[in-house]
Amino acid sequence: MPKPVIWITRTLSDATLARARRDYEVIWDPADTPGSADDIIAMSAKVDGMIPCHSEHFSADVVAQLDRRLKIVANHSVGVDHCDLPALRAKGITVTNTPGVLSDATAELAMMLMLGAARHAVEGDRTVRSGAWDFWSPAFLVGKQVTGARLGIVGMGGVGRAFARKARGFDMEIHYHNRSRLSPKDEADAIYHDNLDDLLEVSDFLSLHCPATPDTTGLLNAKRLAQMPKGCVVVNTARGALVDEDALLAAIKSGHVGAAGLDCFVTEPGGNPAFAQHENIMMMPHAGSGTVTTRNAMGFKALDNLDAFFRGDQPPDQL
C-alpha cells in the first residue's frame, strides 16, 4: 500500500516531522512561510491530507476551489477560526483540531502577561536594559497586586480552566462566564456569572479564553470596558478579534484600563503599532502554545487524527 501523501504547511517540531516522515509521504518546505490561498488550492491536488496551522486560511472561496483529492485537514491548532467549517464539511473534507494539549502552555503565557502587565515588566526591563536605572525609588514601578485580587475569566474550556488552576496558586478570587455552568468538580471555588456584564463589573483582572466566532467578535468593546473597575488589567491569549482594539487603546490612554497583556491581535502578524506606544501593554507574538512539550503534543495529536482517518476510523478530534 503506498503511503498517503500529506502537506505539512509549516516547520513543526523535529519529533513531529520524524514521525510524519515515517508514516507518510511528506511535502514540507523548510522555508516555513505561511501557505497562501493559491498554495493551498494547488497543494490540494497533490495530497490526501494536510496539517495546516492557524496561518493558513480555508475561506469558503478557497474551499470551493480545493481538489477532490484532499480528504482531511488535520489542524495543528485548537482554534479553527481560520477554517470555514461548514464549507469544508459540505465538500466532504474531514477537519480536526488539537484540543486539551495546549491548555497549560497557553495558561502559563496568560499568567506571564497578567503578572507582567500588572507589575510593569516592559518598563522595568527597558529601564535596566537601557542603563536608565540610576537610583531606587519607592514610588517607581508600583504595580497592582495579583494575590487575592478578583479575576474574571471569559470562557472556561480547557485553557480557561487551566488558567483558573494557576490563578488559585495566587489566592485569586475566581469569577467566570461561560456558555454553560461547569460541573461542581470543574467549578471548584469559582463563582459563575451567567451574564458577561455582571462578570465585568467584578473583574479587577480579566482574561479571555473563548473562541472567536461571529458571536464573540468585538466582545470586549468600549461599553464593556467601561463596566470594568478603574485600573483593571486585561489579558488576551485567545484571539485578537475578541477585542475592539480602538476601544482598548482609548481605555488605556484614559487610565480606565491600567494595563494589558496581549498575545493576540486583530492583525496578525504585525499586531497593532499603536499599542507599542504604551509600556503598560505587554505583548507577545501569538506564542501561547510555544513550549517544546506542547508543540510536540500538538504535532502528535494532529498525526493521531490523520492516522485514525487513514485507518478508516473516526479521528478522535473530528469537528
289 binds ligand DGY (CB under 6 A): yes
The residue among 10 and 175 lying less far from ligand DGY, judged by its C-beta, is 10
Q: Which of 25, 173, 201, 268 is catalytic?
A: 268
Q: Supply the minimum distance, in Å, between the C-beta of residue 120 and ligand DGY.
A: 26
What would the grid cell of residue 40 be? 493551498
- The dihedrals phi and psi of 152, each to the nearest 5 degrees, come to -105, 130
12 binds ligand DGY (CB under 6 A): no
Cis peptide before 269 (omega within 30 of 0): yes
102 binds ligand DGY (CB under 6 A): yes
Is 179 annotated as catalytic? no
105 binds ligand DGY (CB under 6 A): no
Residue 211 contacts residue 155 (beta carbons within 8 Å)? yes
Is 224 annotated as catalytic? no
What would the grid cell of residue 282 be? 505587554
> Would you give the end-to-end CA distance of the chain in angstroms?
28
Q: Supply the minimum distance, in Å, between the C-beta of residue 289 and ligand DGY.
A: 5
- Residues touching ligand DGY, count (CB under 6 A): 8
What secondary structure does DSSP assign to 152-219, as a single string?
A: EEE--SHHHHHHHHHHHTTT-EEEEE-SSPPPHHHHTTPEE-SSHHHHHHT-SEEEE-----TTTTT-
CA distance 148 to 152: 13
Is 239 annotated as catalytic? yes
Among 52, 79, 261, 271, which residue sits at the site for ligand DGY (rule: CB under 6 A)?
Answer: 79
295 binds ligand DGY (CB under 6 A): no
Among 10, 54, 150, 175, which residue sits at the site for ligand DGY (rule: CB under 6 A)?
Answer: 54
Residues in the site for ligand DGY, rule: CB under 6 A?
A: 53-54, 77-79, 102, 288-289
Catalytic residues: 239, 268, 286
